[in-house]
Amino acid sequence: MPRKLDNVSRMVRGHIGMSMNRLNLFNLQRKTPLNYVGKTLYQQKWAAKSETRAYHGEHLKEKRFKKVLFEPELKTYSQLDASLRSQEVAPTPITLQTYATLEKRLEFALFRSMFASSVRQARQFIMGGYVKVNGVVIKHPSFPLKSGDVFSVDPERVLYALGKAKPSLSKAINIDNKQIRYWNHYVKVARKNPQKVWEMQQNKPESLNSIANIEAKKRLQDKQNNGESVMKLQQQKVSKKSILGDIINLGNAAGANLNADTFEKYGSKLAKSKCLQVYENLTSQKSGILNDHSAKALDTYFSKDTERTPEEKTSLRHVNNLLRELEKCEWERIRLEFENLSTGGSFYDPSYTEKLNPVKSLNKEELMEDESKVKVSLPWQKHLYGRQDTSKPYFTPWTPRGFLGAFAILPSHIEISFDTCHAVYLRDPVARPGHSEVISPFPEHVHERAYMYYIKKGMS
């Protein structure tokens, strides 16, 4: 029988366990090398044994490990290549093989293959009948694997082991209501000051998550592709007629306070002066377009069939030249904004706030009685947080558990296929010059003292 599950994640002593728990990663980060100063040899061996046994088979009783599982003869690999006889060969870390005998157990092989998040969870999968060896269901966690054995795990169990934890219904509703509050606040602020919010959103700092950065770059590429079509649409909207209509609206609204700053919309000082020249030209000619600048009136103003005096023709020619220059300036401004997007900047689309709609909060009491009534309409989520498929025991849509990458260490003696959740046990792990196939967070000198402890206690 294994040990009782008592405080597996040892935060007080800081022991590292064979688990993907985030507390193990914290313990590993803060771990300091064993200090042998002032300790007797036995104390050194005891400290090394305590540290290594907390990781290698902590669920196994000490008496069973010493009397049954411990093997004094450690397996190694001899370098017999004659070409290396005259060269320096790295020493073989043979004492790292102290716990190699555990690696052939089925429960350990499952954890090493990343089919379970801990050895204890691997035991649960095995005893639950979810594991097969050579096509036969095995319910013994201590089953010894041999070279060439093929073992497999139910894919649903693997998704459960490596996936993010599924939130409860109450927790999911609370999270979604919080998301809705933040979204509604964002919509309110964006509608009030769209350009400022757009720039803040585009200038976010790079994420520490490499996967998120890859996805962000992909979204940026999509934005660039979409931005090109947006640029063309923006440029198509800009014409001499639209510019003239804007100038007349702004000039009429300014009244007696008319000056170049009235046309701030057109940015540069030169463009604003040209807008002022257009409006003053129309005023001096006492053109009727100032009072009636509808689409039909603008078409008539630019029509060649309209009868005009020589002075009116000269004025129209001058206005046409100014509007043509303003049109080119606006096209160039839009193009530069698009180029800013291609270098990681922001292409401002003033119409983006029209697509933002506030969302109604969820009624927790009503949804706790019947989850099927849930209707979430957030832009990035159409279901309860983490409960897209309520029949699954893990977070849906499936999301890898936190800090999974820190534990993604694949062994040399096992060939793994994550597509089918199968693995082949190639051979027992051995030690080679400068390398041991037994994965351990502890250096060789710690394993050396642990081996010295067991070689005496185990043989007595």
| Residue 134 and residue 247 share a domain | no
What are 130-161's pLDDT values in tens digits?
A: 999 999 999 999 999 999 999 999 999 999 99
What are 180-224's pLDDT values in tens digits?
A: 999 999 999 988 888 788 777 766 666 556 666 666 667 666 655
> Which range of residues forms the domain containing residue 79?
22-163+403-457
Going across the sheet that includes 136-137, the strands are: 136-137, 131-133, 149-153, 422-425, 414-417
| Residue 61 and residue 138 share a domain | yes
pLDDT at 329: 81
Query: Residue 18: left if φ>0, alpha if ψ -120 to 50, beta else—which one?
Result: beta
Answer whether residue 78 is part of any domain.
yes
pLDDT at 247: 80
pLDDT at 227: 57
**Structure token digits, residue 90:** 């790295």
- Residue pair 76/431 in contact by the 8 Å Cβ criterion: yes
The C-alpha torsion from 100 through 101 and 107 to 109, rounded to 10°, is 50
| Residue 148 and residue 64 share a domain | yes
3-state helix, strand, coil in the chain (%, to 5): 55, 10, 40
Residue 429: cis peptide before it, omega within 30 degrees of 0: no
| Range from 107-121, 210-224, 315-329 that averages highest in pLDDT | 107-121
Binning pLDDT at 50, 70 and 90, where does residue 334 land?
confident
Q: Which of 310, 330, 345 is the last residue of a domain?
A: 345
State which amino acid sits at residue 132: K
Strand, coil or helix: what is 441? coil
Closest residue by Cα to residue 447 from 297, 238, 280, 455 = 455
Q: Which of 296, 329, 345 is the last residue of a domain?
A: 345
pLDDT at 167: 94
Question: What is the DSSP code (8-state) at residue 138?
Answer: -
Closest residue by Cα to residue 128 from 160, 163, 100 = 160
- Residue pair 116/155 in contact by the 8 Å Cβ criterion: no
| Residue 153 and residue 30 share a domain | yes
Dist. CA 45–CA 451, nearest whole Å: 8
Binning pLDDT at 50, 70 and 90, where does residue 85 land?
low
What are 31-50's pLDDT values in tens digits?
A: 888 999 999 999 999 999 99
| Residue 134 and residue 47 share a domain | yes
Answer whether residue 307 is part of any domain.
yes
Which DSSP helix (H) or strand (E) runs through 333? helix 310-342
Residue of higher predicted confidence among 217 and 454: 454
pLDDT at 365: 87
**Structure token digits, residue 186:** 């964002």
| Residue 320 and residue 250 share a domain | yes
| Residue 337 and residue 418 share a domain | no
Which DSSP helix (H) or strand (E) runs through 414? strand 414-417
| Residue 145 and residue 258 share a domain | no
Q: CB atoms < 10 A from the CB of 43, how many?
A: 12
Answer whether residue 80 is part of any domain.
yes
Over residues 239-245, mean pLDDT: 80
Answer whether residue 410 is part of any domain.
yes
Answer whether residue 384 is part of any domain.
no
Question: What is the DSSP code (8-state) at residue 427?
Answer: S
pLDDT at 176: 93
Residue 397: cis peptide before it, omega within 30 degrees of 0: yes
What are 52-69's pLDDT values in tens digits?
A: 999 999 999 999 999 899
Q: Which of 295, 312, 345 is the last residue of a domain?
A: 345
The domain tally of the chain equals 2
pLDDT at 222: 64
Identify the CATH number of the domain in which residue 66 sits. Answer: 3.10.290.10
Answer whether residue 397 is part of any domain.
no
Answer whether residue 371 is part of any domain.
no
Q: Compute CA distances 324 → 92, 261, 292, 316, 371, whole Å.
A: 80, 20, 22, 12, 61
Whole-model pTM?
0.67
Answer whether residue 73 is part of any domain.
yes
H helix and E strand count, the chain: 15, 7
| Residue 28 and residue 145 share a domain | yes
| Range from 5-19, 87-101, 105-119, 232-246 that averages highest in pLDDT | 105-119
| Residue 423 and residue 311 share a domain | no
pLDDT at 82: 47
Mean pLDDT taken over the chain: 83
